[in-house]
Amino acid sequence: MKRLLVRFSAATLVATALSFLSFLFIVPTKAAEPPLVEHAGGAYLYNIENDAVLYTYNEDAKVYPASTVKLMTGILAVEALGGDPSRKITVTSEMLYKVVGNNIGLVVGEEVTVNDMLHALLVNGANDAAQVIAVTVGGSVEKFVSMMNEKAQLLGAYNTYYTNPTGMHDDRMVTTVSDTAAIAKYAYGLPGFTEITSLTKYVMDETNKKDYRNLFNRNSQLSKFYDTRYYYPDAVGMNAGYTVQSGYCLVSVASRDNLSYLAIVMNAESTDEDIYSYANVENMLDWAFDSYGYTEVLGVSQRVCEMSVSLSSTVDYVTLVPAESIVRYLPRDLDPNEFNLSYNTFDESLVAPVEAGQICGTVTVTYNGEILGTTDLIATVSVTRSEFLFFLSKITAFTSGRFFRALIVFLILFSGAYVLIQAHRREEKMRRRNFF
């Protein structure tokens, strides 16, 4: 398959970005422009480790959710049933009522496990498994849908409204890209959730009614079973869906080099050559991995400043370096020469002895006025004290102290008074002699 190639001039890119995209960067924004999102109703790109939204497109426009509804169904299922995966469930007619669309052929009276239903839901996107879960957790599909809407409100998905647990189209059932992102972030944090959605295939053991089933992942970034064109080696979950009204929807998490991204495209079109949910998400992820990464903005070996040292007979100063490196998630094309260092020391100079690693101040790195990080400044070497210089310093300190100055003044005054008294006594003796 010919991959989606985005070819346009810089002027076209800027104009398109201003017209169609709104960007929310929470890291320095010098990275290359993101790829154009084509033939889609909304898009979202987010770095998980650094809580960084890289860009969004029509994130608050209402769209039909298609099978992304199963993210919420899965959340409630994992929270309610995930602690007992071997629990047996007997399929009832209520659970299969009006089941249409993709399903794994469950029948009334079939005994299945919670684990089977979670995998059927999150790997294969089975609508009959979604309704089995709904009735098991909520007591009825209607009650479960109410629970879904309550959970959406708790997660901040205020513009989302559910009418069923499967994602089959209903004009009343809507969401937004930003709401879908909030739900996906929460699902990502649930133990085991992403791991289930990452499976390319799940083998469901035979039951009392049916032989074993091979359940293939319907997300073509993970599995080549339904479409070989969109396999993405860094993909680790979550959900893909389609209805005529919603178009193609894809919620994807991909990880590489200690970075994980959540990429969402909703309401995408398709042609004979491309399904644009997959094409756009792939372009978004490639751009994120290529354009952002962890950069060491200050290394532990970097000399920041020097401080003079007194009472040492061997050295006059020590070099100060950062106590730890400062690493930030940044655009890869930032110029390190544009990072600015500022530092403060606790004193104007050091007095021996000085220990290697002694904290002497702080250093801060900034870029365009934004603080990238702060760490302690430490001495690189130990400095011993000269006892002779220490003794002299004590003498100097004593002789320059207030007590010593007061003592000198007292002695001068005492000496002056003594001289005056002695002179007065001699004068009295002379006066007596002359009198007699």
Distance separating alpha carbons of residues 158 and 137, to the nearest angstrom: 23
Radius of gyration, CA atoms only, the chain: 37
Strands of 129-279 (E only): list them. 201-204, 213-216, 235-243, 247-256, 259-268
Where in the chain are the domains? 10-293, 299-379, 401-435
Sheet holding 52-57, edge to edge: 52-57, 42-47, 259-268, 247-256, 235-243
Nearest C-alpha neighbor of 262 from the set 23, 44, 55: 44
What pLDDT, on a 0 to 100 scale, did the predictor assign at position 398?
Answer: 63
Distance separating alpha carbons of residues 170 and 270, to the nearest angstrom: 21
Distance separating alpha carbons of residues 366 and 340, to the nearest angstrom: 5
| Residue type, position 90, single letter | T
The SS3 assignment for 364 reads strand
Token look-up 């106590």 returns 323
Q: CA quadruple 306, 309, 314, 316: dihedral positive or negative?
A: positive
Q: Phi/psi of residue 368, each to 5°?
A: 50, 40
The length of the chain is 436
What distance lies between CA 329 and its chain's CA centroid? 9
Map 314-338 to HEC letters: CCCEEEEEECCCEEEEEECCCCHHH
Nearest C-alpha neighbor of 134 from the set 122, 148, 152, 155: 148
Task: Give 36-82 as a DSSP string.
Answer: PP-S-SEEEEEETTTTEEEEEESTTS-B--GGGHHHHHHHHHHHHHT
pLDDT in tens, the chain (436 residues): 333 333 333 333 333 333 333 333 345 555 678 889 999 999 999 999 999 999 999 999 999 999 999 999 999 999 999 999 999 999 999 999 999 999 999 999 999 999 999 999 999 999 999 999 999 999 999 999 999 999 999 999 999 999 999 999 999 999 999 999 999 999 999 999 999 999 999 999 999 999 999 999 999 999 999 999 999 999 999 999 999 999 999 999 999 999 999 999 999 999 999 999 999 999 999 999 999 999 999 999 999 999 999 998 889 999 999 999 999 999 999 998 899 999 999 999 999 999 999 999 999 999 999 999 999 999 999 999 877 766 665 676 667 767 767 767 777 887 777 887 877 777 777 777 666 5
DSSP letter, residue 203: E
Whether the Cβ atoms of residue 200 and residue 217 lie closer than 8 Å to each other: yes
CA dihedral 399, 400, 402, 406 (to 10 degrees): 50
**CATH architecture for segment(s) 299-379:** Sandwich (2.60)
Q: Against a cut of 0.85, is the pTM above it?
A: no
Alpha carbon distances (Å) from 422 to 96, 139, 414, 426, 430 = 125, 115, 12, 6, 12
Nearest C-alpha neighbor of 125 from the set 189, 194, 197, 221: 197
CATH of domain 10-293: 3.40.710.10
Residues in a beta bridge with 319: 306
